[in-house]
Amino acid sequence: MEKKFYELPSLPYSYDALEPYISEEQLTIHHQKHHQAYVDGANNLLRRLDEARESDASIDYKAAAKELSFHVGGFLLHRFFWENMGPAGDNGGEPTGKIKEYIEKDFGTFERFKEEFSQTAISAEGSGWAMLTYCPLTDRLFIVQVEKHNVNLIPQCKVLLVLDVWEHAYYLDYKNLRPDYVEAFWNIINWDEVNNRVENL
């Protein structure tokens, strides 16, 4: 059976589609350089593992497992990120449908949810993500703060909405003003995609 490797996905919109909230330059570098780096990192490690197995060689398995989790986590979270954004005007605002029902059930109001999600994103130490997830065991939404790409994830919880708060996601547009970047994100959330994820739980 042929072994497969990761590939950089195309964006579901043009590089200038998220302006003025994310510039064409910022989005291009983020996608073509940073996301590509996680694709390359994961694939290079998979090839090293394949070569070691074919030659019956030994490698540092602890380091390999950690590195694989980091790169594949970065690859997957960025894919979620691109998909849960869309051009301003067609996106943003308040959600409708099933995700709205869940937000109101678990947070009371959209404004309360927005505040909690925003503060989770703003307060992330160093590099990481704010993530809205669904726990199938409790039928509840959780907001989690993911360190790097792979620390603090909750098994079985389904990813519904992510916001990248690594500096590489916003430094060209917002410098060190992460709160301004987080506030801008609310204008380009693709709630239809978030609802699709809820419908497919």
pTM higher than 0.85: yes
- Answer yes or no: do 107 and 168 share one domain: yes
The answer to the question of residue 163 being in a domain is yes
Which range of residues forms the domain containing residue 45? 24-83
Residue labelled with tokens 């699709």: 196
The answer to the question of residue 159 being in a domain is yes
pLDDT per residue over 98-153, tens digit each? 999 999 999 999 999 999 999 999 999 989 999 999 999 999 999 999 999 998 88
- pLDDT bin (cut points 50, 70, 90) of residue 82 is very high
Q: Give the rounded distance of the alpha carbon of 7 from its chain centre.
A: 16
The answer to the question of residue 88 being in a domain is no
SS3 89: coil
Cα 66 to Cα 56: distance, rounded to the nearest angstrom: 21
